[in-house]
Structure 1
Amino acid sequence: MMARYDQNKDGKIEMRELAEILPPEESFLVLFRSQQPLSSIEFMEIWRRFDSDSSGFIEVNELKSFMKHLITKNQLGDISDDKLDEYAKSILKLFDANNDGKLELKEMAKLLPTKENFLKQFQKITGQSGASQGKGILGQKTLTRSEFERVFSYYDKDKNGTIEGDELNGFLKDLMEHEGNEKRLKRIPTDSEIAALATQIMKSCDSDGDGVLSVDELHRVICRT
């Protein structure tokens, strides 16, 4: 095995060397699993980028574009369109649970390694106003101002003082998963559910109508009942 596949003769099988040993679907999964875990913001950035028609699904051609991007990013050389087709069919066979020929958000989430939900560390949170008004958006424990600022800073990826676009989508994905786990639903929200909640929150909380959430506006999202 080492003589055949250890191409650079360093006494170890590297990721790309291992990929040559495995069947196509497994070799590509090795490539996926070798990536650094993604935050929900990074996951939503990838989702929005490769769901090019905004259908709420990653279809075969979009999946091929994503795989080609990943191969180029990892400098794995050129790949033929036939080989991309083979990889795409293998990935769909493994992760397309309802066999509709495309990946919905929860199926894509099972494919890509992601970090632990950031909100998990704040079990049963509301926010300061929630303590007196009943259940808040994250449960029953009071969220201190410093904890709130940690949440805001984490999802404000570009540090421009606002939460917008994929930052908001990543926050809502984590929030809905957290709430689902609290209710023992154990499920990942769909793209349409995230989009609907984003629209609802922007409509009710974007008080100045600038299309982004400021610190105070996001504070109202977390603290409202």
Structure 2
Amino acid sequence: MNFDRLDKVDRILLSAEDSKRLADWWLNIHEGAFNEFRPVMEEGMIVQELDPNIQFDKEFVKAHRLTSYVLFLYFNQLDDVRVYYEIYRTIGENQVEYILKGIKNYAELKSDLTVNTDNHIGLKKEQAIPFLDSITSSHIALMNYMELYRDVRERITVQTVSKKVTKKKKKGKKKNTRPITMSVYNVKIPLAPVTDEERRAYQRMKEAWTVRGHWRTLPSGKKIWVKPHVKGKKEKLESTTYHF
């Protein structure tokens, strides 16, 4: 697996509490098929804290010896309906385990997966698709949430991070170090009920959504910059900033 790539793409940070609130928000604001996919980022990584004490009751957590961990969901949109995913999780201090990779087709609701059979959570091949569906539902919800509240600073903040990346040294050649810049989004979901105004704004948003500027890697390995643009019915996009 290309672990180095995880340090080079834009990332979205979600705490365990906000992960649970995101699921509740999605259930309360969403109507229709849950595979409606409008990505505001074509490539990136979701860093999601998962606390079993928030998701399950204490007896279940104790019986299964569940502990908190961090889930890394790398995503790369291949076209309008297919997304490539890689899922990792922490298994100890400074240790990350690859769980699975695969392509999900949101139009046909099909997935083509490869599972790491040595994973520490005991995930088997027949369990992989339900597992991927449960994880990627957060991706769908998050893309919708980030678009709806894109201008609400109390909910979405972004920080630009610069770092140096060094390529592995090849025989007879010097190390090549170059600077890269990536965006880190911090997403907060307040403990508040969804209002009718938010639902109306969400329905309007479904017809057109913005895609953030990003780097795209071509099959040749060359990187090109894709400018921010609008998908869907562009004339339907509202420039109004919503404050709820």
Confirm or deny a common fold (TM above 0.5).
no
Higher-Rg member (1/2): 1
Q: TM-score, normalised by structure 2?
A: 0.27
Greater per-residue strand proportion = 2
Greater per-residue helix proportion = 1
